[in-house]
Amino acid sequence: MGSHRRLAPTGFDRGTVAAVGLLSVAAAVLGAVPATASPHDDRRTEVDRLHTEAEQATEAYNKADARTEALRAEIDAAQDSIARQQARINTLRDGLGSLAGAQYRSGGVDPALALLLSADPDDYLDKASVLDRITTHQAGELRELEGAMRDLAQDRAEAGEKLTELEKSRKAVAAHKKTVERKLAEARRLLNSLPDDERAAYDRGSRSGRTGLAAGTDPAVPGDAAPASGRAAAAVAAARSALGKPYVWGANGPTGFDCSGLTQWSYAQAGIGLPRTSQAQSGAGQRVSLDQAQPGDLVAYRDDASHIGMYVGNGQVIHAPYPGAPVRYDPVGMMPVSSVTRV
Protein backbone atom coordinates (compact mmCIF):
# COMPACT_ATOMS: atom_id res chain seq x y z
CA MET A 1 0.00 0.00 0.00
CA GLY A 2 3.09 2.26 -0.28
CA SER A 3 1.74 4.07 -3.29
CA HIS A 4 -1.45 4.85 -1.42
CA ARG A 5 0.43 6.40 1.45
CA ARG A 6 1.91 8.88 -0.98
CA LEU A 7 -1.62 10.03 -1.95
CA ALA A 8 -2.70 12.92 0.17
CA PRO A 9 -2.39 10.83 3.35
CA THR A 10 -3.80 13.75 5.27
CA GLY A 11 -7.10 13.64 3.38
CA PHE A 12 -8.92 13.89 6.67
CA ASP A 13 -6.50 16.42 8.17
CA ARG A 14 -8.37 19.70 8.41
CA GLY A 15 -5.36 21.82 7.48
CA THR A 16 -4.63 19.88 4.34
CA VAL A 17 -8.31 19.70 3.41
CA ALA A 18 -8.56 23.44 3.78
CA ALA A 19 -5.47 23.91 1.62
CA VAL A 20 -6.85 21.61 -1.06
CA GLY A 21 -10.14 23.51 -0.96
CA LEU A 22 -8.35 26.83 -1.35
CA LEU A 23 -6.35 25.48 -4.26
CA SER A 24 -9.52 24.22 -5.89
CA VAL A 25 -11.05 27.67 -5.69
CA ALA A 26 -7.92 29.66 -6.42
CA ALA A 27 -6.86 27.52 -9.36
CA ALA A 28 -9.12 27.83 -12.36
CA VAL A 29 -9.78 24.49 -13.94
CA LEU A 30 -7.25 25.44 -16.62
CA GLY A 31 -4.37 25.69 -14.16
CA ALA A 32 -3.04 28.07 -11.54
CA VAL A 33 -4.27 31.65 -11.91
CA PRO A 34 -1.44 33.94 -13.00
CA ALA A 35 -0.43 36.94 -10.93
CA THR A 36 -2.59 39.16 -13.10
CA ALA A 37 -5.92 37.37 -13.34
CA SER A 38 -7.69 37.18 -16.66
CA PRO A 39 -11.01 39.02 -16.87
CA HIS A 40 -12.53 35.63 -17.65
CA ASP A 41 -11.35 34.06 -14.37
CA ASP A 42 -14.36 35.34 -12.44
CA ARG A 43 -16.68 33.76 -14.98
CA ARG A 44 -14.90 30.40 -14.78
CA THR A 45 -15.07 30.52 -10.98
CA GLU A 46 -18.76 31.37 -11.18
CA VAL A 47 -19.32 28.41 -13.54
CA ASP A 48 -17.62 26.14 -10.98
CA ARG A 49 -19.87 27.52 -8.25
CA LEU A 50 -22.99 27.00 -10.34
CA HIS A 51 -21.97 23.45 -11.20
CA THR A 52 -21.39 22.73 -7.51
CA GLU A 53 -24.78 24.14 -6.53
CA ALA A 54 -26.46 22.29 -9.40
CA GLU A 55 -24.86 19.06 -8.20
CA GLN A 56 -26.13 19.64 -4.68
CA ALA A 57 -29.61 20.25 -6.07
CA THR A 58 -29.24 17.13 -8.23
CA GLU A 59 -28.56 14.97 -5.18
CA ALA A 60 -31.58 16.52 -3.45
CA TYR A 61 -33.60 15.71 -6.58
CA ASN A 62 -32.30 12.13 -6.54
CA LYS A 63 -33.30 11.74 -2.89
CA ALA A 64 -36.80 13.08 -3.50
CA ASP A 65 -37.17 11.01 -6.66
CA ALA A 66 -36.08 7.81 -4.87
CA ARG A 67 -38.57 8.54 -2.06
CA THR A 68 -41.29 9.13 -4.64
CA GLU A 69 -40.62 5.75 -6.26
CA ALA A 70 -40.61 4.03 -2.86
CA LEU A 71 -43.91 5.68 -1.92
CA ARG A 72 -45.49 4.60 -5.20
CA ALA A 73 -44.49 1.00 -4.49
CA GLU A 74 -45.80 1.23 -0.90
CA ILE A 75 -49.09 2.72 -2.09
CA ASP A 76 -49.51 0.03 -4.75
CA ALA A 77 -48.95 -2.67 -2.11
CA ALA A 78 -51.37 -0.94 0.29
CA GLN A 79 -54.04 -0.70 -2.39
CA ASP A 80 -53.66 -4.40 -3.20
CA SER A 81 -53.97 -5.23 0.50
CA ILE A 82 -57.03 -2.99 0.87
CA ALA A 83 -58.70 -4.67 -2.11
CA ARG A 84 -58.05 -8.12 -0.62
CA GLN A 85 -59.37 -7.03 2.78
CA GLN A 86 -62.49 -5.55 1.23
CA ALA A 87 -63.17 -8.80 -0.62
CA ARG A 88 -62.73 -10.74 2.64
CA ILE A 89 -65.12 -8.38 4.43
CA ASN A 90 -67.69 -8.81 1.67
CA THR A 91 -67.41 -12.61 2.01
CA LEU A 92 -67.81 -12.40 5.79
CA ARG A 93 -70.86 -10.18 5.42
CA ASP A 94 -72.44 -12.57 2.92
CA GLY A 95 -71.80 -15.48 5.27
CA LEU A 96 -73.24 -13.64 8.24
CA GLY A 97 -76.32 -12.72 6.24
CA SER A 98 -76.93 -16.38 5.39
CA LEU A 99 -76.40 -17.46 9.00
CA ALA A 100 -78.72 -14.75 10.31
CA GLY A 101 -81.44 -15.84 7.88
CA ALA A 102 -81.04 -19.47 8.86
CA GLN A 103 -81.21 -18.59 12.55
CA TYR A 104 -84.32 -16.49 12.06
CA ARG A 105 -86.03 -19.25 10.13
CA SER A 106 -84.99 -21.94 12.62
CA GLY A 107 -85.75 -19.85 15.69
CA GLY A 108 -89.03 -18.41 14.51
CA VAL A 109 -90.98 -21.24 16.16
CA ASP A 110 -91.12 -21.48 19.94
CA PRO A 111 -88.79 -24.34 20.97
CA ALA A 112 -91.38 -25.93 23.28
CA LEU A 113 -94.03 -25.92 20.52
CA ALA A 114 -91.50 -27.26 18.02
CA LEU A 115 -90.78 -30.15 20.39
CA LEU A 116 -94.49 -30.92 20.78
CA LEU A 117 -95.04 -30.86 17.04
CA SER A 118 -91.95 -32.85 16.25
CA ALA A 119 -92.57 -36.39 15.08
CA ASP A 120 -89.05 -37.25 16.13
CA PRO A 121 -87.85 -35.60 19.35
CA ASP A 122 -84.33 -36.91 18.73
CA ASP A 123 -84.31 -35.16 15.36
CA TYR A 124 -85.43 -31.93 17.02
CA LEU A 125 -82.67 -32.16 19.59
CA ASP A 126 -80.09 -32.69 16.80
CA LYS A 127 -81.37 -29.58 15.01
CA ALA A 128 -81.30 -27.57 18.22
CA SER A 129 -77.68 -28.63 18.76
CA VAL A 130 -76.80 -27.52 15.23
CA LEU A 131 -78.55 -24.18 15.86
CA ASP A 132 -76.42 -23.66 18.98
CA ARG A 133 -73.26 -24.34 16.96
CA ILE A 134 -74.39 -21.89 14.27
CA THR A 135 -74.93 -19.21 16.88
CA THR A 136 -71.45 -19.71 18.31
CA HIS A 137 -69.93 -19.69 14.82
CA GLN A 138 -71.86 -16.56 13.97
CA ALA A 139 -70.46 -14.76 17.00
CA GLY A 140 -66.95 -15.70 15.91
CA GLU A 141 -67.67 -14.46 12.38
CA LEU A 142 -68.91 -11.16 13.79
CA ARG A 143 -65.71 -10.71 15.79
CA GLU A 144 -63.65 -11.53 12.71
CA LEU A 145 -65.63 -9.02 10.65
CA GLU A 146 -65.14 -6.30 13.25
CA GLY A 147 -61.38 -6.93 13.32
CA ALA A 148 -61.14 -6.95 9.52
CA MET A 149 -63.01 -3.64 9.31
CA ARG A 150 -60.69 -2.04 11.88
CA ASP A 151 -57.65 -3.25 9.94
CA LEU A 152 -59.11 -1.95 6.71
CA ALA A 153 -59.81 1.48 8.21
CA GLN A 154 -56.25 1.69 9.55
CA ASP A 155 -54.73 0.65 6.22
CA ARG A 156 -56.86 3.17 4.37
CA ALA A 157 -55.73 5.93 6.75
CA GLU A 158 -52.07 4.96 6.29
CA ALA A 159 -52.51 4.85 2.52
CA GLY A 160 -54.03 8.32 2.66
CA GLU A 161 -51.01 9.61 4.59
CA LYS A 162 -48.67 8.05 2.02
CA LEU A 163 -50.61 9.68 -0.81
CA THR A 164 -50.20 13.05 0.92
CA GLU A 165 -46.48 12.42 1.37
CA LEU A 166 -46.23 11.33 -2.26
CA GLU A 167 -47.72 14.62 -3.41
CA LYS A 168 -45.21 16.54 -1.28
CA SER A 169 -42.37 14.44 -2.68
CA ARG A 170 -43.54 15.08 -6.25
CA LYS A 171 -43.53 18.83 -5.56
CA ALA A 172 -40.02 18.57 -4.07
CA VAL A 173 -38.82 16.71 -7.16
CA ALA A 174 -40.26 19.42 -9.41
CA ALA A 175 -38.71 22.20 -7.30
CA HIS A 176 -35.25 20.59 -7.28
CA LYS A 177 -35.50 19.97 -11.01
CA LYS A 178 -36.22 23.66 -11.65
CA THR A 179 -33.28 24.64 -9.44
CA VAL A 180 -30.89 22.35 -11.30
CA GLU A 181 -32.10 23.50 -14.71
CA ARG A 182 -31.83 27.17 -13.74
CA LYS A 183 -28.27 26.84 -12.44
CA LEU A 184 -27.13 24.74 -15.40
CA ALA A 185 -28.65 27.23 -17.83
CA GLU A 186 -26.76 30.06 -16.13
CA ALA A 187 -23.54 28.02 -16.19
CA ARG A 188 -23.98 27.38 -19.91
CA ARG A 189 -24.60 31.08 -20.52
CA LEU A 190 -21.36 31.97 -18.72
CA LEU A 191 -19.39 29.29 -20.53
CA ASN A 192 -20.70 30.49 -23.87
CA SER A 193 -19.49 33.98 -23.02
CA LEU A 194 -15.88 32.72 -22.82
CA PRO A 195 -13.62 32.73 -25.88
CA ASP A 196 -13.73 29.43 -27.77
CA ASP A 197 -10.25 28.32 -26.72
CA GLU A 198 -10.91 29.00 -23.03
CA ARG A 199 -14.28 27.26 -23.16
CA ALA A 200 -12.67 24.18 -24.76
CA ALA A 201 -9.89 24.24 -22.17
CA TYR A 202 -12.45 24.43 -19.36
CA ASP A 203 -14.24 21.37 -20.71
CA ARG A 204 -10.93 19.44 -20.77
CA GLY A 205 -9.71 20.58 -17.38
CA SER A 206 -10.41 18.93 -14.04
CA ARG A 207 -11.79 20.60 -10.96
CA SER A 208 -8.36 20.44 -9.35
CA GLY A 209 -6.83 22.57 -12.06
CA ARG A 210 -5.02 19.53 -13.48
CA THR A 211 -5.99 17.81 -16.67
CA GLY A 212 -7.90 14.58 -16.16
CA LEU A 213 -6.71 11.43 -17.92
CA ALA A 214 -8.31 10.64 -21.22
CA ALA A 215 -11.10 8.10 -21.32
CA GLY A 216 -8.92 5.48 -22.97
CA THR A 217 -6.06 5.91 -20.49
CA ASP A 218 -5.57 3.45 -17.65
CA PRO A 219 -3.88 4.93 -14.56
CA ALA A 220 -1.79 1.76 -14.16
CA VAL A 221 -3.06 0.59 -10.78
CA PRO A 222 -0.03 -0.67 -8.82
CA GLY A 223 0.12 -4.36 -8.01
CA ASP A 224 -0.25 -3.83 -4.25
CA ALA A 225 -3.40 -1.76 -4.76
CA ALA A 226 -5.74 -4.69 -5.21
CA PRO A 227 -9.49 -4.17 -4.82
CA ALA A 228 -10.87 -5.00 -1.40
CA SER A 229 -13.06 -7.80 -2.81
CA GLY A 230 -14.11 -9.52 -6.00
CA ARG A 231 -17.26 -7.42 -6.11
CA ALA A 232 -15.23 -4.24 -5.73
CA ALA A 233 -13.11 -5.39 -8.69
CA ALA A 234 -16.28 -5.97 -10.72
CA ALA A 235 -17.55 -2.50 -9.79
CA VAL A 236 -14.27 -0.92 -10.89
CA ALA A 237 -14.48 -2.79 -14.21
CA ALA A 238 -18.03 -1.52 -14.69
CA ALA A 239 -16.99 2.07 -13.90
CA ARG A 240 -14.17 1.80 -16.43
CA SER A 241 -16.61 0.59 -19.05
CA ALA A 242 -18.54 3.86 -18.54
CA LEU A 243 -15.53 6.09 -19.30
CA GLY A 244 -16.46 8.64 -21.91
CA LYS A 245 -20.21 8.41 -21.27
CA PRO A 246 -21.86 11.82 -20.83
CA TYR A 247 -22.81 13.45 -17.56
CA VAL A 248 -26.61 13.56 -17.42
CA TRP A 249 -28.06 14.96 -14.23
CA GLY A 250 -30.51 12.60 -12.51
CA ALA A 251 -29.32 9.65 -14.63
CA ASN A 252 -27.96 6.31 -13.39
CA GLY A 253 -26.99 4.65 -16.65
CA PRO A 254 -26.29 2.94 -18.79
CA THR A 255 -25.98 5.69 -21.42
CA GLY A 256 -25.46 8.66 -19.08
CA PHE A 257 -24.72 9.29 -15.41
CA ASP A 258 -24.59 11.83 -12.66
CA CYS A 259 -22.00 11.25 -9.94
CA SER A 260 -24.00 8.99 -7.61
CA GLY A 261 -25.75 7.39 -10.58
CA LEU A 262 -22.37 6.15 -11.85
CA THR A 263 -21.33 4.57 -8.55
CA GLN A 264 -24.78 3.06 -8.00
CA TRP A 265 -24.82 1.57 -11.51
CA SER A 266 -21.25 0.27 -11.23
CA TYR A 267 -21.94 -1.62 -8.01
CA ALA A 268 -25.26 -2.88 -9.39
CA GLN A 269 -23.25 -4.62 -12.13
CA ALA A 270 -21.37 -6.35 -9.30
CA GLY A 271 -24.62 -7.47 -7.66
CA ILE A 272 -24.60 -4.88 -4.86
CA GLY A 273 -27.41 -2.39 -4.36
CA LEU A 274 -26.36 1.09 -3.27
CA PRO A 275 -28.64 3.95 -2.23
CA ARG A 276 -29.34 6.59 -4.87
CA THR A 277 -27.68 9.66 -3.35
CA SER A 278 -24.02 10.45 -2.71
CA GLN A 279 -24.79 11.23 0.94
CA ALA A 280 -26.46 7.86 1.51
CA GLN A 281 -23.72 6.02 -0.41
CA SER A 282 -21.03 7.57 1.79
CA GLY A 283 -22.63 5.75 4.73
CA ALA A 284 -23.23 2.45 2.94
CA GLY A 285 -20.15 0.63 4.18
CA GLN A 286 -17.05 0.81 6.34
CA ARG A 287 -15.23 4.11 6.62
CA VAL A 288 -11.48 3.99 5.95
CA SER A 289 -8.82 6.68 5.79
CA LEU A 290 -7.71 8.06 2.45
CA ASP A 291 -4.24 6.56 2.75
CA GLN A 292 -5.88 3.11 3.08
CA ALA A 293 -8.06 3.52 -0.01
CA GLN A 294 -8.33 0.53 -2.33
CA PRO A 295 -9.85 0.26 -5.80
CA GLY A 296 -13.63 0.16 -5.52
CA ASP A 297 -13.81 2.40 -2.44
CA LEU A 298 -16.23 5.32 -2.70
CA VAL A 299 -14.73 8.78 -2.23
CA ALA A 300 -17.19 11.49 -1.18
CA TYR A 301 -16.36 15.17 -1.52
CA ARG A 302 -17.22 18.40 0.28
CA ASP A 303 -18.61 18.63 3.79
CA ASP A 304 -22.09 17.74 2.56
CA ALA A 305 -20.88 14.72 0.49
CA SER A 306 -22.64 16.20 -2.53
CA HIS A 307 -20.15 14.63 -4.98
CA ILE A 308 -18.85 11.08 -5.12
CA GLY A 309 -16.46 9.02 -7.21
CA MET A 310 -14.82 5.59 -7.19
CA TYR A 311 -11.17 5.16 -6.26
CA VAL A 312 -9.28 3.06 -8.84
CA GLY A 313 -5.71 3.24 -7.57
CA ASN A 314 -2.62 5.32 -8.33
CA GLY A 315 -4.18 8.46 -6.89
CA GLN A 316 -7.10 8.47 -9.32
CA VAL A 317 -10.88 8.26 -9.15
CA ILE A 318 -13.41 7.61 -11.87
CA HIS A 319 -16.37 9.96 -11.63
CA ALA A 320 -19.02 11.84 -13.57
CA PRO A 321 -17.77 15.42 -13.08
CA TYR A 322 -20.42 17.87 -14.32
CA PRO A 323 -22.50 18.63 -17.42
CA GLY A 324 -20.30 18.84 -20.49
CA ALA A 325 -17.58 16.66 -18.96
CA PRO A 326 -17.79 12.90 -19.62
CA VAL A 327 -17.11 10.14 -17.12
CA ARG A 328 -13.34 10.19 -16.65
CA TYR A 329 -10.32 9.80 -14.39
CA ASP A 330 -9.30 12.68 -12.12
CA PRO A 331 -6.93 13.05 -9.17
CA VAL A 332 -8.44 11.85 -5.90
CA GLY A 333 -7.53 15.20 -4.34
CA MET A 334 -9.42 17.26 -6.90
CA MET A 335 -11.69 18.56 -4.12
CA PRO A 336 -11.73 18.31 -0.32
CA VAL A 337 -12.46 14.68 0.60
CA SER A 338 -15.14 14.20 3.24
CA SER A 339 -15.00 10.40 3.53
CA VAL A 340 -13.82 7.14 1.96
CA THR A 341 -16.21 4.21 2.20
CA ARG A 342 -15.48 0.53 1.55
CA VAL A 343 -18.64 -1.20 0.33
Please list the active-site residues: 259, 307, 319
Question: Residue 286 — φ and ψ, nearest 5°?
Answer: -95, 130
Cα angle 303, 337, 248; round to 5: 80
The CA distance from 161 to 306, in Å, is 30
Omega into 9 within 30° of 0, i.e. cis? no
The CA distance from 4 to 222, in Å, is 9
The CA distance from 138 to 86, in Å, is 19
- What is the helix (H) or strand (E) element at residue 265, kind and residue range? helix 259-269
Q: Strand (E) positions, the chain?
A: 286-288, 298-301, 307-313, 316-319, 328-331, 337-342
The CA distance from 279 to 320, in Å, is 16
Q: Which of 269, 261, 260 is nearest to 231 (CA)?
A: 269
Q: Tell me, what DSSP letter sits at residue 150?
A: H
Number of alpha carbons in the 13 Å side-chain half-sphere of residue 202: 25
Q: Are strands 286-288 and 298-301 parallel, antiparallel or unpaired?
A: unpaired
Cβ atoms 227, 295 nearer than 8 A: yes
Cβ atoms 246, 256 nearer than 8 A: yes
Q: Which residues contact 78 (CB under 8 A, 6 or more apart)?
A: 155, 158, 159, 162
